[in-house]
Amino acid sequence: MIRGLYSAASGMFALERKQETLADNLANAQTPGYKKDDAVQRAFPKLFMQRIQDFSENGNVQAAGAFQLPGQAVRIGELYNGVYTQERIPSFNQGSLVQTSNPLDLAIEDQGIPAQMINGRQVKPAAFFAVQMPDGTVGYTRNGKLDLDANGHLVTSEGYLVLGADHTPVTITESISKEDLSINADGQLIAYPNNPSKTRVAGQIGIAVVQNPLELRRVGGNVFQSANQVPFIQDAGGTNPGISLHQGFIEQSNVDTGQTMTNMMMAIRGYEANQKVISVYDNSLQQLYSIGKMNG
């Protein structure tokens, strides 16, 4: 009976963690480039239940094979000890592109990157903007809502410096307005695209391709980090595996709000069911205690 209480409680804890994940996804449904998390649940190791048979079925010790000998183990069955939420795994599916017409809004489309086999599993690589974190490390984000700060640095909406193809922050040295910049599909920033006498390349945005994005860890601010340095497609020997940039567009979050709300309702119903199981066990224990007091 006590094991049943533990199993029901573990289900409540697991569903609580799942609900937190779904709530985070829903809260970021309007965050540009946000990648939803999926809560992965696992079962605790199952136990094989056995009992020790002290006597044979008719009370006599008989030959092996006819009846169980005294002291032999008799298998009862399997016992499951509940579930737990093991981890949160981000989903890097492409979000839909929405046109904003803002000159520095930029969306990555990487559907053309072919999947590959990693450790016997098919994995889809993902492309990211590379940004410089406050501590000097490199982060990776799909948030393409960019802007120019007071020093001419290209920054994300969180204020992170966007790295160029040369792995240094993209900086516009001249006083060029956003409206005088154009960004092509390869990430080149073209200054004064409508004035042939002044047209020039003012910089190039670095695009990093993570071969196995499941190895990334989320560090907040819609940014991921990798334990290993991720090469840019503009690096020596690098190639564009099927990536294009779209100026004036924003990649939306890949959160399906309708499905997320449905999953939240299912989690609540499961939580309530486990509560009722615990309530039933509690009533049974109270009755057992009352009977024990009467007999004692």
Q: What is the pLDDT along the chain (296 residues), one digit of tens a residue?
A: 577 787 888 889 899 999 999 999 999 999 999 999 999 887 766 655 566 665 555 455 454 455 555 556 767 666 666 777 878 889 999 999 999 989 999 999 998 888 888 888 888 999 999 999 999 999 999 999 999 988 889 999 999 999 999 999 999 877 788 888 899 988 899 998 888 888 888 889 999 999 999 999 999 879 999 998 899 998 877 778 889 999 999 999 999 999 999 999 999 999 999 899 888 888 887 887 777 665 55
Which two three-digit tokens encode residue 206? 């670095």
Say what the pTM is.
0.79
Q: Are residues 100 and 230 in the same domain?
A: yes
Closest CA to 236 of 184, 165, 291, 171: 165
Whether 43 is covered by a domain: the verdict is yes
Torsions phi, psi of 264, nearest 5? -65, -40
Whether 187 is covered by a domain: the verdict is yes
Q: Are residues 124 and 242 in the same domain?
A: yes
Whether 19 is covered by a domain: the verdict is yes
Q: Are residues 233 and 266 in the same domain?
A: no
Whether 276 is covered by a domain: the verdict is yes
Domain of residue 281: give its range. Answer: 2-58+70-87+256-295
Q: Which of 251, 269, 286 is the last residue of a domain?
A: 251
CA–CA separation, 265 and 15 (whole Å): 11
Q: Are 51 and 70 in contact (CB under 8 A)?
A: no
Torsions phi, psi of 83, nearest 5? -130, 170
Whether 64 is covered by a domain: the verdict is no
Burial of 22 (0-12, 13-18, 19+ CB in 10 A): buried
Which two three-digit tokens encode residue 63? 């030959």
Whether 63 is covered by a domain: the verdict is no
178 to 103, 173, 244: CA distances (angstroms): 6, 13, 21
CA–CA separation, 1 and 278 (whole Å): 10
Q: Are residues 77 and 184 in the same domain?
A: no
Q: Are residues 223 and 264 in the same domain?
A: no
Q: What is the number of alpha carbons within 13 Å of residue 4 lying toward its C-beta?
A: 12
